[in-house]
Amino acid sequence: MSDDLTALGGGPTPIPTDSRAGAAQLEAIAVDPEVTGARFVTTELLAWCPVTRQPDHYRCTIDLVPLAGKSIETKTLKLYLASWRDDGIFGENLAAAIARDLAAATDAAITVELTQNVRGGIELSATARA
């Protein structure tokens, strides 16, 4: 374990109350140069429609290609994704924000695909790259 990681192994970590605070807590880990990619998948991403304030539940797939030998530390990723639960944001913008924040934290190529649970008979999928 790296000495510069603050969330991993430190006991319960409070979930940030907003996504910007969550982004600031993202941590990167060093990965072996032979690692050519990592995929993270969750169905526990929640945000709110900024107009109706109805909850939007997402399946989120994150593909990461380490360009500088770094990947994302998963505990901080979980906390970051949970921090969106109080934000009003459209799915397309959410995908772009997550891709930007993860790319900034890892210097990696990031692709984020969000699939919103069906609401009103429409399924939304949005993809963003950074």
Q: Band of the pLDDT at 24, cuts 50, 70, 90?
A: confident
pLDDT digits (tens, 9 = 90+) for 26-70: 999 999 999 999 999 999 999 999 999 999 999 999 999 999 999
pLDDT, averaged across the chain = 89
Backbone angles phi, psi at 113, to 5 degrees: -120, 125
Catalytic residue among 3, 18, 56, 86: 56
Reported as a pLDDT band with limits 50, 70 and 90, residue 3 is low
56 included as an active-site residue? yes
Residue-level pLDDT at 1: 37
Per-residue pLDDT tens digits for 60-88 = 999 999 999 999 999 999 999 999 998 89
pTM of the model: 0.85
User: Is residue 60 annotated as a catalytic residue, yes or no?
Assistant: no
What count of other Cβ atoms lies within 10 Å of the Cβ of residue 123? Answer: 10
Q: Is the pLDDT of residue 14 over 50?
A: yes
Domains, in order of start, for the chain: 19-129 (3.30.1130.10)
- Which residues touch 30 (CB under 8 Å, ≥6 apart)? 2, 69, 70
Residue among 3, 49, 63, 86 flagged as catalytic: 49
Label each residue of 45-93 as H, E or C.
Answer: EEEECCCCCCEEEEEEEEEEEECCCEEECHHHHHHHHHHHHHCECCHHH
Helices and strands per DSSP (H, E), number in the chain: 3, 6
